[in-house]
Structures are given as structure tokens and as C-alpha cells.
Structure 1
């Protein structure tokens, strides 16, 4: 049933309040004037009623519909139950979500946007497997620290590193190999080892 089906009947009927006794899927059992009666949640009632809630009822023919949740005696959080394919839209405008803590849980999440801006004082991310495909990446940082068990990097064309000082250390084997090797120093070139083989 959609939001406007039976609207004429609902508009002409008197509304009444009832207590929610139980819920089984989309079917509800209510206490109305001391007796139990079945009801369904109206399509436009987004707040999912819970047992113990006081709800507003409307009737279309012989079917009673929960139009709204009037009062909740317990401390159960509000849950907005949207149907499959629901959309929150602000066409041509702006949609804001504001909260002290925002939690998103989903089995699959897709984000499609022309421009993405993220601003955070601290960011923590945990991923089982991460794949990134980009045309260009530019990174500016005061300090970058990476700790890896294994690291592989494959550069198809050229790689350039420009720094004031470069310190590379290997606790095991250090292997440098190229078709042409050129080492230049303006002041001093020093080789130190228990054995040095040239040629």
C-alpha cells in the first residue's frame, strides 16, 4: 500500500490512540479500548513502533493503520524503517547530517561524486584489502611513517627522489643493480667493508 491509497477513507475516519503489544514483521497487535486488535504500519509512518509505544490509529475500511508514534515509555532508540530503494533527496539543494557521533553500517557501500572533500583532525581506517586506482596522487605532509612486513613497488618508467639527506639501511642484504650506475659526490666517496670486490 502506498502513501495515498485509501487516503480518502483515512481522512474521513476518526483517529484513535492505542498501545502496541507485539510486533511480528509488518503486523502489529494493539490494545484498543481494552481489547486486542491487529494493525499495519502506514507507508508514511517512518518510525518503527515498538511494544509499549502509544500510537495513533486511522482506519480505512476494516483495516487499521498506525499513522504515527505518539509516545515511547521506554528508552529504546528511534528507528526509521525505510523500504527497499528509499532515497533521501535534496534536488538542487543541500542535505546536511549533523551529529556528535555518526555511525554507518552496511554490507556494501558505494559513493559516487564529482568532488569529495574530507576534513578531520584525526583519521583511523582499518581495511582487510584496499585497492586504489587513480590518475594522479599528490600528498603533502609534515611527516609520514610507514611500517610494513613486506613492501613491493613497481615503477614502469622513472622514479625520482630529492631530499637533503637520504639514509638507507638493511640489516641483511642490500642489492643495487642497474645497466648503468653513476655515483657522484662533491666532496667524498667512501666505501667500507671487511671485503671490497671491484670488477
Structure 2
């Protein structure tokens, strides 16, 4: 209360005492009272914070967090359905590390460029639908328990040297099979059946 005018100030400072599912309890001028976080206050207050409080329609609202004396990290809490927009500009997130946690994540973009020195992914199930895939790599190593590949039309493999090994049975079958060697064709086995 302002001693000169006799009216309470529109804003005042207070200390956050506690938080529950309905809002916050603040200590203002030695009295505890309930307060809500203002819709425009993005930083979620924590107990012990010094906050700016405003009053409207008989309710107290936390307008901003002025100071935090504890070691609680800053948490920006957005309401449901929030959007960060830079419709005609550029949005940049700059951090030493970014952690993204969500039950469902959707990405829609016209073009996606990813540059990473190392990528580690742990995935449960992957479904990929693509118009075309082009891969350029110095070395590719794959280890699988079982692999099935179905090609509806033609498949080509071009390499300087090709080596295929099967510890069990190897089966080659086709309506027409052509085996050509420019210098040598060699078959070696304990038994060879032709016909």
C-alpha cells in the first residue's frame, strides 16, 4: 500500500514459497497468498525465486522471474499448442548440446541438410519410403542376423573384385544363367553334377 496515495501498487515483488497443481504460493509483505503464472511469463518460477507480481480482477499473477538464488535450471514452459514462429525469417538454436524428448516427433520440410561428424542412432523399427536414394561412402559395413532384399525389376552390381562366402548352402537359380570369365573359369569341389 502506498502511504501517500492510499492505493496498492499495480506491481510488486514477492518470493515464491511453493508450487502445486493449481498454481503458486508467494510471500508478499510477510503474507502468503496464491498466485497464477501470467500467460506471457514463459519462465516457470521455482520456490525461492524473486518474482514480479501484478494484480488484476482480484487475482495475483506472476509477471516475471526477477532473480533466482538457487541452482535450479531455467525452464521455459509453453502452454499447450504453442508455436515458435519466424515465418519470413530464420530461426537459429545455438547450444553446446541440444536434447530433444517427445513421445511423437514429426518433421516436415522441403529440404533437409544434416552435417555431423558422428551419428549414433538406436532405433526400434525403421520404415523408409523414398523416391530415390543415393549413397556415397568410403566404407560401408553392415552386420545383420537376417537380411531379405526384394527387387522387382533389375539389379546391377559393379566392382573391381567381388567375394561371396557362405558357411552353409549357396544357391544360384535363374531361367537363364550366364557365367563368363575373360581369362579363367574354375570350379572345384569333391563332386560336380552337371545336367
**Alignment TM-score > 0.5, same fold:** yes
Q: Choose 170-179 or 54-63, whichever is displaced more.
A: 54-63
* Aligned twin of 1:99: 95
Of 39, 46, 49, the residue aligned with 2:42 is 46
Q: CA deviation at 1:91?
A: 1.2
Hey, what's the Cα distance between the residues in 1 that align with 2:22 and 2:105? 26
Higher relative contact order, chain-length normalized (CA < 8 Å, sep 6+): 1
- Map of 1:34 onto structure 2: 30
SS in 2 for 1:46: coil
Work out whether residues 26 and 41 of structure 1, in 8 Å CA contact, stay in contact via their aligned partners in 2. Answer: no
Counterpart pick for 2:110 among 88, 110, 114: 114
Q: How much does 1:104 deviate?
A: 0.2
Alignment partners' CA distance in 2, 1:82 and 1:62: 25
**Structure 1 Cα separation of the partners of residues 102 and 17 of structure 2:** 30
Residue 73 of structure 1 and its aligned partner are, at CA, apart by 1.2
- 1:123 paired residue among 119, 126, 140: 119
CA contact (8 A) 1:20 1:54 kept: yes
Alignment of 1:93-172 (within 5 A): 93-172=89-168
Specify the alignment match of 1:3 in structure 2: none
Aligned partners of 1:172, 1:13: CA distance in 2, in Å?
A: 86
Match of 2:173 among 177, 184, 198: 177
Match of 1:68 among 61, 64, 70: 64
What CA distance in whole angstroms lies between the structure 2 residues aligned with 1:69 and 1:188? 82
Computed over aligned residues only, the root mean square deviation of the Cα atoms, in angstroms, reads 1.1
Secondary structure at 1:36's aligned position in 2?
strand
Alignment check: 8 A CA contact 1:27 1:41 kept: yes
Deviation at 1:14, TM superposition (A): 2.9
Q: CA–CA distance in 2 between the matches of 1:15 and 1:53?
A: 16
- In the alignment, what sits opposite 1:195? 191
TM-score of the superposition, structure 1-length normalised?
A: 0.92
For the residue of structure 2 that corresponds to 1:107, the secondary structure is coil
Work out the CA distance in 2 between the residues paired with 1:38 and 1:174.
Answer: 76
Is the counterpart of residue 25 in structure 1 residue 58 in structure 2?
Answer: no
Gapped runs of 5+ residues in structure 2?
Answer: 1-7
Distance in structure 1 (CA, Å) of the matches to 2:9 and 2:30? 20
Which residue of structure 1 aligns with residue 85 of structure 2?
89
What TM-score, normalized by structure 2, do the two folds share?
0.94
Q: Residue by residue, what CA displacement relative to the aligned partner does 1:131-152 show, whole Å, maximum 9, x if unpaired? A: 0000100000000000000000
